[in-house]
Structure 1
Amino acid sequence: MAGENSARNVMGNYLKISDPEEVTEGFQSANPATLEVTKMVMKELKRNQFKGDDSQDPWEHLINFKETCALQKRSGKVTDDQKKLFLFSYSLTRKAKDWLYCLPARTIETWMDLEEKFLEKYFTKSQYDERKAELLGFKQERKESLSQSYERFKLLKRRCPNHRICAAELVCLFINGIKQKQRMFLDASAGGSVLQKTPVEVEELVQNMCQNQYNKIDDDEEDLV
């Protein structure tokens, strides 16, 4: 009777695990490697875990993850890609970890492959459109200093790193977004007009003006002591 059930492939047979390794191995890249993860690195990975919620920034997670990866030494012939692929699962939890474990085993060959799939899943087109629109529509706020507006502009760029806007256009976006008085100061610092400067030179001028503003604030605070 038992042999007959096996030959007929009855419903009970479908409940049996046909490949135990497939169930227990979790995420596996095409060329896996193992590492002895330090306690400090593991603590950092767990502290900054990505859940897959809309409230979390996938780009920010990747930046934090790469910074943590740099703290982990490689051993033997383990490549940098293999290190990141091995550690990435520890940086995820809940829905995001479920997503990773559902990727077909041994189909991810490089870190770039996994990074692209992660962003395809968690950085949607609507998020991209929204962040790029914020960058393109940058305006200095009413009570915002030049240094504060510059820091906010840099944050907008950081939140949309794949904006595909050239350096010259980014500089134009910032200059056109600040108040007229600030643009006049910037032109004066440039010796007449920022149009006669390269994008790198204009950015250096802005940074110097911001630093001078910080120094003035520090001097004013010292005068109050």
Structure 2
Amino acid sequence: MGDNEAPARRVVADYARPNAANARSSITRPAIGVNRLQIPPQIITMVTNTIQFHGLPSEDPNVHLSRFSAICDTFQEQGVTEDACKLRLFPFSLADRAHAWLESLPAGSITTWAGMKEKFLDKYFPPSKIARLRSMIQEFRQKPHVGGDAEAEPGDNEAASRDPGSADTVTDSVHDQRGGTTSGEPVAILGA
């Protein structure tokens, strides 16, 4: 294109189409000292198949980070820092909401592995969750003993811990001991 030529004419619809050139990442990949980082394909497969974090309330982000680090520690490229390796591999460990969260972060906002862990834990293990768990621990009270004997020996309630469908449950045992009675009365078992 010469100096006097006008740029190609574009319509508004052209700007609405997805463009791979505009793709961005919230992770700025650190420079590496080797020509090319080669993460073994089986490591990527292991991460995507075994430790996916979805961002669900039932998932533990600390456990996820621990498992992720354990996998990353299984291989080492000469001249590649831990940050470079983990920052390249971490997006493969996220799925669904968690992956959407990572993509929603500002472009280039994560530059170190420590920064990635901090943002991840701030999102999925925030101070409010820590405070709630701490409060639950501090307010914990043991429930009163249901069997009626406060000084029961550890083996006294063994039958109660068995399969409810078996003939050895507490109810069935009491039923058998009382000669087959089915009065439905509550029965206290002391030293059974």
Give the TM-score range, shorter chain.
0.5 to 0.7
For the pair shown, which has the larger CA radius of gyration, 1 or 2? 2
Q: Is the Cα contact below 8 Å between 1:27 and 1:89 reproduced in 2?
A: no
Give the superposition deviation at 1:85.
0.7
Query: 1:17-41 CA deviation, whole Å, 9 max, x = no partner?
Result: 5x62332x65542525563223442
Matched residues in 2 for 1:119 and 1:86: separation? 18
Q: Is the Cα contact below 8 Å between 2:110 and 2:116 reproduced in 1?
A: yes
Give the superposition deviation at 1:134.
3.5
Matched ranges for 1:32-71 at <5 A: 33=32, 35-46=37-48, 47-71=50-74
Q: CA RMSD in A?
A: 3.0
Give the superposition deviation at 1:107.
2.8
Matched ranges for 1:78-93 at <5 A: 78-93=80-95
Relative distance call for 1:77 and 1:141 in structure 2 (3 A) is: farther
Relative distance call for 1:124 and 1:30 in structure 2 (3 A) is: same
Q: TM-score, length-normalised on structure 1?
A: 0.50
Please give the secondary structure, in 2, of the residue aligned with 1:76. coil
Please give the secondary structure, in 2, of the residue aligned with 1:54. coil
Q: What amino acid is the match of 1:14?
A: Y
Higher relative contact order (CA 8 A, sep 6+): 2
Q: Is the Cα contact below 8 Å between 1:27 and 1:103 reproduced in 2?
A: yes
What residue number does 1:14 align with? 15
Identity of aligned residues (%): 30
Q: Which moved more, 1:89-98 or 1:31-40?
A: 31-40
Give the gaps of 5 or more residues in structure 2.
Answer: 1-5, 146-192
What residue number does 1:31 align with? 30
